[in-house]
Structure 1
Amino acid sequence: MGKRKEERELQETFDSYGADVEILREWDLPVEKARAVRGVIKLYTSAGSRMLKRVNVSHARLRFIQETLEHLFQNGFTNVPRFIRTKYGDPFVVHASGLYYLTDWMPGKEADLKKTKNLFLAAETLARFHNAGAGFEGGGFGQETREDFSALWGKYRAKLVSYDQHLEERRDQTLMDIAYAEHRSELLQMIDHACEQLNETPYGAVLEWARDQKTICHGSYSRQNLIVDKERMSIVDFDHCHFGHPIQDLGALLSRYMPRCNWDAEIGFSVLDVYRAQREITKEEMTVLAAYLSFPSRTLQLVESYFERTRDWEVERFAKNFRKSLALDRGRETFVQEIIDRYGLTMQAPSFAPQLDDVGSYDLEEYESSSAQARNDGWEENRNAEDEESGPIAVQVEDHEANVTLARFADDEDESEESPQAITQAAQTRQARPKAKRTQADVAPRRRSTNSGGPTGPWTPGR
């Protein structure tokens, strides 16, 4: 390829990204080729691949991210992308079009968390990340704490009220409108129960411990931000990292990926065991985790995406996935009950999800967003569907400035290698399972750390 052609293609790539190619001079970076992918630019250089990203955040916020990565690396958690300083020694570049930072490109493939071995590896990696993140003394640049997820739970309840008002004004109701109206009361019961149970937990003491220990959360611990290279898993995209309690990340991991296995308790307890082999979970933390899992995050986000038009699905698809999500909520509630029974927690399990027998297969699609690559060196283009005839609802919710963003969940169309019939049958079996006490012993995880130094036996209250 001629030099002029290379320069022209490089310029076109940066133009499509909305960036100035002159940014590269800040690092004296000779680039052979560049590709704009999922919010970043992948740069091919003679020294290896690099990632260039533009962010529209404050200087203080970006410094917080950069110092978080340095803290993790210095504490032995090296599988993160550190900022590459400019030739002037600056961690990032300030430009009229935004702030830019450069890192190495983390090798490997996007984690396939349909595979339990990768799910267990994700739990182990998360615990190691939380251990390394403790004691972070940075962040003196502004408020970076996001810890009270109960504040956002209340906002979801207020949103349902707004949706109700909209339905009253709508002349012709859709299938999704009807399905939502039919099960709205159960959703409100789930929200109220989760909030009540969280208020009964030692949540305040748990948060105070996190403040004292200066622990860090990733904030977007999803498969797109987990890169697997052989047996090594790296974490990328720290744009949402913040001071907070590790239970937030662990709860989000379970909420995201346990539905893919129909909230199977054996897999769930194995995930917890793998995590605990690296970082113990106290009884107080386990109680908060059970309350966290009592909240119907996925179902409420699906309702939100319908009424506020953040997804380009057909109405029939919304209605089908809403019913399937409610069916999975029944499995989630059963899992919470089993957590309470197994660990001897003093709290009430949720039991509000409806019994649905005709949900069909779950047509899952992406909810997660990330700058991480699909890691097949080919990028999926965003699909633009036609807008719905009716516009989004302008939801008016009193803003008390919640300090946390509820974890967003991915719904993948190829979620499971099982047939739709098998998935449906498993879900229905899970629904029908009585919420009785668990009698069998701890389930051994398929992947277990052998050099963690942490507890490996059954967890008992008070440990």
Structure 2
Amino acid sequence: MREYELEILNQYDIEIISTRKVRGAFFCETNEGLMLLKEAGISDGRALLLYQLLRQLSRSGYENVDLPVFTKEQELISTSRDGTRYMLKHWFGGRECDVRREGDVLEAVRNLSLLHQKMRWEPDPEDDAADPATGEALCEDGTQAAENVKMPPAGRHLREEFLCHTRELKKVRAFIRKRRNKGKFEALFLQHFEKMIRLATRAAEQLETSGYETLYEQSICGKRLVHGDYNYHNVLMPAGVHGTSDGWGCRERVATTGFEHFRMDVQVLDLYYFLRKVMEKHHWDVKFGDAMLEMYSRIRPLSQAEIEYISLKLIYPEKFWKVANAYYQSNKAWIPEKSVEKLETAIRQTEEKMRFVEQIFAFHL
């Protein structure tokens, strides 16, 4: 560890036994157990909200979360001499969830359902910073601005998300049509655009007759929270330990990290995101996907509106939009072959995904 990073650790009232560099962070063996020092990508106000959530989860019995550590000056963010901001968190042994192992994936889904049961914002009445307040401004990602707001932001309404993404797809089409020299990427995009826009339109139409509006309002009014980035990198499996009918022992449970993007929203957004990430690596295996949904429902039964929500998110051609939007924002004088490969993958996965949707959710598009 470099000298100025050791200076960062000196800002904390802990004894450092050893450190080890890992993928953009440092593992720190301390007198209070394993910790992780990593650059902080959030504001001081957001860090405080994060601490309040993780402290709330810990107090409710869900202890295996990456709770931040305060500095000697009672700050959650420490700063190095070059201005780099860091956060020190409690950490856990074990390994990341392996998506190739069905047991790992199903345990991660089970963990998510248990987490969702406790993910509701409950401000500490003894903490001035936890007094409820609301904010109206929206960030670029569609969430409310968190600065100077003393409760978590609300996620963007799905109607607004669909409309925004569809407008961007049409903007990309208009741009490509005007280009004189069209390469493989542009030709492939135009070839599949109409099919993708039909899916986008169908998702938007289905949304209007679904139970989403009530579900969204209940989620926001009930202050129900989503993790916001629930993927296999943020799920740590206890090494060499097997589950029992009674679950895992306290320190042997699955650990969940990376809550920085938490907000108030429809909770099964996390389930959709994790399901999509896993299924993309398993070519949208119907039997495996069904097992994931069934595992979640064992702990936290899915309502009809939540099932509709997951299906609508799956119907929308999100990956196609993401690749197209990245193309539009890039230097289009030269399109790398990797971009063409990503678009080809998005098209193939959309076709696999729609077969999955039809079989799992009985949608016949």
TM-score by length of 2: 0.80
Q: Which moved more, 1:77-86 or 1:269-278?
A: 77-86
Which of 200, 208, 216 pairs up with 1:199? 208
What is the percent sequence identity of the aligned residues? Answer: 20
Closer, same or farther: CA 81–29 of 1 in aligned 2, 3 Å = same
- Any idea what SS the aligned residue of 1:114 has? coil
Deviation at 1:222, TM superposition (A): 0.9
In structure 2, the residue matched to 1:302 is 323
Deviation at 1:315, TM superposition (A): 3.6
- Any idea what SS the aligned residue of 2:261 has? coil
Cα contact 1:175–1:315 (8 A) shared by 2: no
Cα contact 1:10–1:34 (8 A) shared by 2: no
In structure 1, the residue matched to 2:119 is 133
Cα contact 2:230–2:270 (8 A) shared by 1: yes
Deviation at 1:46, TM superposition (A): 5.2
Give the letter for the 1:249 counterpart: D
In structure 1, the residue matched to 2:67 is 82
Deviation at 1:124, TM superposition (A): 0.4
Cα contact 1:136–1:215 (8 A) shared by 2: no
Closer, same or farther: CA 252–53 of 1 in aligned 2, 3 Å = same
In structure 2, the residue matched to 1:392 is none
In structure 2, the residue matched to 1:415 is none
Let me know the Cα RMSD of the aligned residues: 2.7
Deviation at 1:64, TM superposition (A): 1.0
CA distance in structure 2 between the partners assigned to 1:334 and 1:197 by the alignment: 18
CA distance in structure 2 between the partners assigned to 1:75 and 1:240 by the alignment: 21
In structure 1, the residue matched to 2:191 is 182
In structure 1, the residue matched to 2:168 is 159
CA distance in structure 1 between the partners assigned to 2:303 and 2:327 by the alignment: 38
In structure 2, the residue matched to 1:124 is 110
Cα contact 1:134–1:213 (8 A) shared by 2: yes
Give the letter for the 1:107 counterpart: G
In structure 2, the residue matched to 1:27 is 12
Q: Deviations over 1:125-178 (max 9, x none)?
A: 110110111353366415511142332222222222332233234332211111
Q: Which moved more, 1:203-212 or 1:47-56?
A: 47-56
Give the letter for the 2:112 counterpart: L
- Any idea what SS the aligned residue of 1:292 has? helix
Closer, same or farther: CA 40–150 of 1 in aligned 2, 3 Å = farther
Equivalent residue pairs, number: 328
Closer, same or farther: CA 143–108 of 1 in aligned 2, 3 Å = closer
CA distance in structure 1 between the partners assigned to 2:255 and 2:49 by the alignment: 20
Matched, 1:325 2:346: yes
In structure 2, the residue matched to 1:419 is none
Q: Deviations over 1:178-213 (max 9, x none)?
A: 101111111211111111111211111111221243
CA distance in structure 2 between the partners assigned to 1:161 and 1:39 by the alignment: 38
In structure 2, the residue matched to 1:40 is 25
In structure 1, the residue matched to 2:285 is 264
Q: Deviations over 1:268-298 (max 9, x none)?
A: 1110110011111111221222212111222
Q: Which runs of 5+ in 2 are unaligned?
A: 125-129, 133-149, 243-252
Deviation at 1:70, TM superposition (A): 1.0
Cα contact 1:193–1:350 (8 A) shared by 2: no
Which of 6, 10, 14 pairs up with 2:2? 10
Q: Which has the higher contact order (CA 8 A, sep 6+)?
A: 1
Residues 438-453 of structure 1 aligned to structure 2 (within 5 Å): none
Deviation at 1:247, TM superposition (A): 1.4
Residues 326-341 of structure 1 aligned to structure 2 (within 5 Å): 326-341=347-362
Give the letter for the 1:120 counterpart: L
Q: Deviations over 1:219-259 (max 9, x none)?
A: 00111111112343211111111111211111111122112
Cα contact 1:126–1:275 (8 A) shared by 2: yes
- Any idea what SS the aligned residue of 1:50 has? strand
CA distance in structure 1 between the partners assigned to 2:338 and 2:78 by the alignment: 44
Q: Deviations over 1:422-454 (max 9, x none)?
A: xxxxxxxxxxxxxxxxxxxxxxxxxxxxxxxxx
Which of 230, 244, 255 pairs up with 1:221? 230
Please identify runs of 4+ aligned residues in structure 1 that moved more than 6 A. Answer: none
Closer, same or farther: CA 169–80 of 1 in aligned 2, 3 Å = same
CA distance in structure 2 between the partners assigned to 1:238 and 1:300 by the alignment: 25
CA distance in structure 2 between the partners assigned to 1:146 and 1:94 by the alignment: 30
Give the letter for the 2:95 counterpart: K
Closer, same or farther: CA 47–64 of 1 in aligned 2, 3 Å = closer
Deviation at 1:56, TM superposition (A): 4.3
Deviation at 1:39, TM superposition (A): 4.2
- Any idea what SS the aligned residue of 2:191 has? helix
In structure 2, the residue matched to 1:284 is 305
In structure 2, the residue matched to 1:248 is 269
Give the letter for the 1:274 counterpart: M
CA distance in structure 2 between the partners assigned to 1:31 and 1:105 by the alignment: 14
CA distance in structure 1 between the partners assigned to 2:320 and 2:21 by the alignment: 33
Q: Deviations over 1:59-108 (max 9, x none)?
A: 22111111111111112211211122334555444778365432122211
Closer, same or farther: CA 56–117 of 1 in aligned 2, 3 Å = closer
Closer, same or farther: CA 92–58 of 1 in aligned 2, 3 Å = closer
CA distance in structure 2 between the partners assigned to 1:234 and 1:335 by the alignment: 30
CA distance in structure 1 between the partners assigned to 2:273 and 2:28 by the alignment: 32
Residues 450-461 of structure 1 aligned to structure 2 (within 5 Å): none
**As a proportion of its length, which structure holds more helix?**
2
Which of 91, 94, 99 pairs up with 1:105? 91
